[in-house]
Amino acid sequence: MLTRTLGTQGLTVSALGLGCMGMSDFYGHRDDAESTATILHAVDQGITFFDTADVYGPHTNEALVGKALAPVREKVILATKFGIVRDPANPAARGVCGRPDYVRSSCDASLKRLGVATIDLYYQHRQDPEVPVEDTVGAMAELVKAGKVRFLGLSEVSPATLRRAHAVHPISAVQSEYSLWTRDPEAGLLQACRELGVGFVPYSPLGRGFLTGQIKRFEDFEPDDYRRNSPRFQGGNFQENLELVARLQDMAAARGCAPSQLALAWVLGQGGDIVPIPGTKRRDRLDENLGALEQVLCPGELVELSGLFPPGAAAGPRYPESMMRLVNR
């Protein structure tokens, strides 16, 4: 397995990570046995970078990931996040919190659920507009001093927020959605990361599964699948985006690989400081994703793919309006 370095503080991970969110939430039925087998299979294949968050489940995903990785804890890098708050009485509702006391209590709760003494990479999931990022990152820095956290990260922040945070304590990684059909980070965030020496971790590098070419009809989503409420998967947007994916499928067929592998190869080809974390809860999909590491694209192919999916090409915003207000803050 190839490795890549996130930031300048010594965080080295496998070139491809595993996003574990869908194992417990958002994408239909869960199968803890298959999810656990997928996590262990990932370790066997050389993946060392695993991503979860307290909001996934909520809470149940951290417990699942922690239990699965317990036998191999010293071999892996475990990342989790805090900052998005869900109301148990209304699971669809979302809030954010970045208060220092909340940072400390969230970390302690995550440590307990994960069953570990230290979190390798701890992200603020969303920036709290009511709390200066300096206060939140200051509390996160205290966790590093206490030995509860090794490296710090942010998710879905603006370049300005990243610079303010990095001035308080070195940020090792920024996580944001990035793929052929979500190229928002190219409008300043990637540049800021590179100026500061911060690694970049794209989540949903397969467009929430859409870039695999396997999604054909909106009606095939399970009733509790998050994508039923995502603008890009609704109505005319769904049909327009299917046409985009058809271009990717044609190019992948000509190359003799899966569309997912081509899409991931494009993300990997955007720089050695980028570590995508495609999510899956099945071993066969994991193996398909790993095949992307064998699809090394030449500069001309990268340009061609970029031209097929220019910024803004995807129809519809990537989140409902309420959630879009929480990104790029």
**Taking 90 as the threshold, does the pLDDT of residue 324 lie above it?**
no
Which of 56, 122, 178, 203 is labelled catalytic? 56
Note the pLDDT tens digit of each residue in 60-80: 999 999 999 999 999 999 999
Please compute the mean of the pLDDT values over residues 184-198 and round it to a whole number: 97
More confident residue, 320 or 234: 234
Residues with Cβ within 8 Å of residue 156, at least 6 apart in sequence: 125, 126, 127, 175, 176, 177, 326, 327, 328, 329
* CATH number for the domain that contains residue 228: 3.20.20.100
**Taking 80 as the threshold, does the pLDDT of residue 104 lie above it?**
yes
Please compute the mean of the pLDDT values over residues 220-236 and round it to a whole number: 91
pLDDT score, position 322 = 79
DSSP E strands: which ranges in 88-198? 90-96, 119-124, 149-155, 173-177
Please compute the mean of the pLDDT values over residues 263-267 and round it to a whole number: 98
Note the pLDDT tens digit of each residue in 266-302: 999 999 999 999 999 999 999 999 999 999 999 999 9
Judged by average pLDDT, the poorest of 48-52, 258-262, 319-323 is 319-323
Quick check: is 168 in a domain?
yes
Note the pLDDT tens digit of each residue in 162-183: 999 999 999 999 999 999 999 9
pLDDT score, position 114 = 98
Quick check: is 329 in a domain?
no
Please compute the mean of the pLDDT values over residues 104-127 and round it to a whole number: 98
Q: How confident is the model at residue 325 (pLDDT cuts 50, 70, 90)?
A: confident
CA distance 329 to 165: 12
Establish whether 226 is a catalytic residue: no
Quick check: is 154 in a domain?
yes
Total tally of structural domains belonging to the chain: 1
Residue 307 sits at the vertex; the CA angle it makes with 304 and 308, to the nearest 5 degrees, is 90
pLDDT score, position 86 = 85
Q: Would you list the DSSP string of 244-271?
A: HHHHHHHHHHHHTS-HHHHHHHHHHTT-
Q: How confident is the model at residue 91 (pLDDT cuts 50, 70, 90)?
A: low
CA distance 207 to 297: 20
Count of alpha carbons within 13 angstroms of residue 285, beta-carbon side:
21
The tokens 């990637």 sit on which residue? 190
Domain enclosing residue 19, as ranges: 3-324
Please compute the mean of the pLDDT values over residues 24-52 and round it to a whole number: 95
Quick check: is 134 in a domain?
yes
Please compute the mean of the pLDDT values over residues 117-144 and round it to a whole number: 98
- 135-141 own/partner pairs: CB under 8 Å, 24+ apart: 135/98, 135/99, 135/100, 136/83, 136/98, 136/99, 136/100, 136/103, 136/165, 137/165, 137/168, 137/169, 137/171, 138/100, 138/168, 138/169, 139/100, 139/101, 139/103, 139/104, 140/103, 140/169, 141/168, 141/169
**Mean pLDDT for the chain?**
95
| Separation in Å, CA 268 to CA 71, 179, 242 | 29, 10, 23
